Amino acid sequence: MEKMSRVTTALSSSTISGKTMFCHLDAPANAISVCRDATQVVVAGRNIFKIYSLEEEQFVEKLNLRVGRKPSLNFSCADVMWHQMEENLLATAATNGAVVTWNLGKPSRNKQDQLFTEHKRTVNKVCFHPTEVYMLLSGSQDGFMKCFDLRKKESVSTFSGQSESVRDVQFSMKDYFTFAASFENGNVQLWDIRRPDRYERMFTAHTGPVFCCDWHPDDRGWLATGGRDKMVKVWDMTTNRAKEIYCVQTIASVARVKWRPERKFHLATCSMMVDHNIYVWDVRRPFIPFATFEEHKDVTTGIVWRHQHDPHFLLSGSKDSTLYQHRFKDATRPVDKANPEGLCFGLFGDLAFAAKESLISSDAKIKPYAGGDRRYPIFFFKKPDLTEQFAHVSSALSVFETDLDSNRMDWFVKTAQLYLLSGKPFAELCDHNAKVAQDLKRPQVSTTWTMLRIMFSDPANVTTPGPNHNLSKLGTLPLMNSFSMKEIGSGMGSERGLERSKGESRQDNIHLEPGNSHISNNNEENEETEGSEGQADYMFGDAELDDDDLYSMEHDNQTEEQEYTLPQEAFQLRHEIMDNPSAPEHLQQDKADSPHVSGNEAEVTCLTPIESFSLISISQPLFNPHLPASFFCPIVREMLSYYAEQGDVQMAVSVLIVLGDRIRKEIDDLTQEHWYMSYIDLLQRFELWNVSNEVIKLSTCSAITCLNQASTTLHINCSNCKRPMSNKGWICDRCHQCASVCAVCHHVVKGLFVWCQGCSHGGHLEHIMNWLKSSAHCPAGCGHLCEYT
């Protein structure tokens, strides 16, 4: 043993080497401490008290201090500390309230030196003075701190925290006389060792217990505290009031905190519950740990840096009965795995997106859109701080703005008010709605209505749109639009082009033929966008805000969908025209070729009176038998889902109502109900009560219609006895009189009955109106001042 104690050689920090290694202990550890020259470590716990030496490759057990056949509770350690000046001196805090010192230089097997049993409760912490050999401080559950002179048999001074449970005591590294104590009630106290009567300073550091504190090894004013509230705080104690300068939020309560040597801003923490990892934080970067050690399988109970001037090795003991040496190089760096990306919506629909610069730059070559520059890439560069060893990540922030106009929902309100959903023949409804959409500059919607009319009109109704078109010149526009579009589509043989032209033609309705160059332009842009990565999504997300200006972008987005929906659409258009008429005779089969005919029709509608219309309809009836209206149902269904997904649930619901039975069976009830509910909700937010009510009324979903049947009960009082009328009918069951007697003519009212909510009297609407014109009082003579509004 003598030999062992002399092993102390002056190791300089540079010679420390080793690897990440561990050894099994026999029992869970509660605390560990390392001797000054970093060659040995002591592990203490309820059932363990051993010294291990740190070899290059492994831990080697040197000494078992837990001796005796039936070890007493004095060996059950809550804390242990190795003296930093005197390598033979150890102190432990026992769970039964004893403070024990151990002298490794003793020749006997039992190294116990002194035993102080002054504390009444468990001692949570012992701490040697960093420079004074004989001074030992303890903090206990009973709320007292005691300072022992190891040359005496008992404590030299007692400090009362005036509160329960001292959790940690630490001598200041730089101020000879100062020590800090942390308490279970969240306070931290600073004491002068010469003045046991009163603390120098006290402040509340945490909510709930402060489990640990640690003075900064170099900076004299800094104190780190960790608490049950999952926070680590760094306090500047040089000012008059303790000032919180850094705060790190961890994911579990903080059991221990230790500053990392030689690194001013680093500290290591571990937790006593749930989380088994050890984290090293750079306090300036509080949101992500600088490094993590993930070896332990149960909570870490003790951490200590191996040498006070070496930042590369950390020792830790754990409840899983292992002792680890962690080499810093082997730590995981969470920052490498983190995604430095963020996304946020602004109050007015602006979207901010920050991502790694490398990701952003790849698509930075995308040209700004014609509609104006909506993205403002901003690049942040944090000035690299040499002392900060964090991997530097620069991210770019893009802000996508929506202009206020496009975000307005005027069109929604107007559309809701102007649409006709019932009360007229189907074709008229469609035309009306098409016109509404047209007036609001929503050509696609308008076209859709027109197409619907064409698809689903039965022959008898075909003539009706005629006059409509004739009446207003504008009314012809949508129709022509759709046809011109088809011409181009067939001309180009490309569905995408067709869709494009549709979008374009909206911008300028008068031009029937948008320039081909324009279209190709759009296509290029289209492809470019497709090529870009994740970024592109956000632009589209923006576009989904459903504003007309972004229309073209919206189409970009849908290229994939269109690729399969459109072929069908092209079909549909072609056939639909043939479907239009259904006269008994089929005269011109050949003419059924679509573009030609459609052109024809467009002209005809513009120029000829009604009769010509019917002529045409007679002229192309041939395919009618083959193409019933139900033929279009799948397409219409997809169209509706498309609108609903685009956020234009208004369109989906309106079409649903107007088409009625024609389409209802094609769409499952849940989806329908969902659409209805969304639309009604929207309407109600815009306070369009009448429209919402109409929609509810017209809906066929039972779940929707019942909305109108809720809370329809009207509670009334009997006008005689003033008690609530319980049974339905005119006779009050209590006073056995007829309740609804007109107060003016004293006859029973059958029909419209008006009554005062104040006095329950009333009568025939007409009588009461007349009465109240001349008198303010109730006609029944009850004296109530009734009011008729």
Partner 1 sequence: MEVQDQESLGRWDGLGSRDASSRTAAMENIHQEVMRKVEAIGPIPAQAPLPLASGSPATSDLNDILAHLLMLSKRCPFEDVRERSIRLLRAIQDLGVRIPRPLGNGPSRFIPEKEILQVSKVDTRTQSIFEDAFAALGRLDNISLVMGFHPQYLESFLRTQHYLLQMDGPLSLHYRHYIGIMAAARHQCSYLVNLHVNDFLQVGGDPKWLNGLDEAPQKLQQLGELNKILAHRPWLLTKEHIEHLLKAEEHSWSLAELIHAVVLLTHYHSLASFTFGCGISPEIHCDGGHTFRPPSLSQYCVCDIANGNSHANHHDDLFGNQELCGEVEVLMERMKQLQECRDDEEASQEEMTTRFEREKTESMLVVTAEDEECVPSRDISRHFEDPSYGYKDFSRRGEHVPTFRVQDYSWEDHGFSLVNRLYPDVGQMLDEKFQMAYNLTYNTMATHKDVDTSMLRRAIWNYIHCMFGIRYDDYDYGEINQLLDRSFKIYIKTMVCSPEKTTKRMYESFWRQFQHSEKVHVNLLLMEARMQAELLYALRAITRYMT
Chain positions contacting partner 1, by CB under 8 A: 46, 70, 72-74, 76, 78, 94-97, 117, 119-122, 141, 165, 184, 208-209, 211, 228, 252-253, 272-274, 276, 297-299, 713, 715, 723-724, 726, 734
User: Which position has the token pair 């003519």?
Assistant: 745
Minimum CB distance to partner 1, residue 299 (Å): 7
Cα(393)–Cα(361) distance, integer angstroms: 14
Spatial distance between the Cα atoms of 457 and 627, rounded to a whole number of angstroms: 12
Q: Which is nearer to partner 1, 408 or 723 (CB)?
A: 723
* Helical (H) or strand (E) element with 43: strand 40-44
In the bound state with partner 1, the residue whose beta carbon lies nearer, of 164 and 530, is 164
Nearest to partner 1 of 143, 581 (CB atom): 143
Toward partner 1, which CB reaches closer, 9 or 713? 713
Rounded to 10 deg, the angle between the 495-507 and 559-579 helix axes is 80
Question: Which residue lies nearer to partner 1 by CB, 154 or 766?
Answer: 154
Which helix (H) or strand (E) covers residue 300, if one does? strand 300-307
CB 229 within 8 A of CB 239: no
- Closest-CA residue to 103 (of 72, 68, 65): 65
Tokens of 751: 């029909």
DSSP H helices in 385-475: 404-407, 410-418, 426-439, 443-456, 459-462, 465-471
β-pairing verdict for 99-103 and 89-94: antiparallel
Q: How far is the CB of 450 from partner 1 (least distance, A)?
A: 48
Name the phi and psi angles at 100, rounded to 5: -120, 140
Q: What are phi and psi of 397, to 5 degrees?
A: -110, 125
Q: Tokens 């002179």 belong to which residue? A: 149
Tokens of 430: 């469609």
Distance from C-alpha of 389 to C-alpha of 167, rounded to nearest angstrom: 32
Q: In terms of CB distance, is 225 or 617 closer to partner 1?
A: 225
Angle between helical axes of 443-456 and 633-646 (0-180°, round to 10): 160
Residue 275 or residue 547: which is nearer to partner 1 going by CB?
A: 275
d(CA 606, CA 351): 46
The least distance separating partner 1 from the CB of residue 308, rounded to whole angstroms, comes to 28
CB of 302 to partner 1, least distance (A): 14
Give the span between the Cα atoms of 32 and 81, in whole angstroms.
7
Smallest gap from Cβ 312 to partner 1, in A, equals 29
Specify the DSSP class assigned to residue 390: P
The string of DSSP letters for 328-382 reads GGGSB-HHHH----EEEE-TTS-EEEEEEHHHHHHTTTSPPPTT---B--EE--P
Residue 233 or 574: the one with the smaller Cβ distance to partner 1 is 233
Shortest CB 119 distance to partner 1, Å: 8
Is 254 or 578 the residue whose CB approaches partner 1 more closely? 254
Of 94 and 445, the one with the shorter C-beta distance to partner 1 is 94
Q: Smallest distance from the beta carbon of 165 to partner 1, in angstroms? A: 8
Count of positions (residues) in the chain: 789
- Choice between 40 and 301, CB closer to partner 1: 301
Q: Are 481 and 443 in contact (CB under 8 A)?
A: yes
Task: Round to whole Å and give the CA distance between 208 and 229.
Answer: 6
Question: Closest separation between CB of residue 1 and partner 1, Å?
Answer: 25
Question: Of 79 and 648, which has the nearer Cβ to partner 1?
Answer: 79
From the CB of 224, what's the least distance to partner 1, in Å?
Answer: 19
**Which of residues 152 and 392 has its CB atom nearest to partner 1 in the complex?**
152
For residue 324, the minimal CB distance to partner 1 (Å) is: 16
| DSSP annotation of 524 | H
- Report the alpha-carbon distance of residue 469 to residue 147 in Å, rounded: 102
Least CB distance to partner 1 at residue 124 (A)? 10
- 163/141 Cα distance (integer angstroms): 10
Shortest distance (Å) from residue 760 CB to partner 1: 14
CB of 253 to partner 1, least distance (A): 5
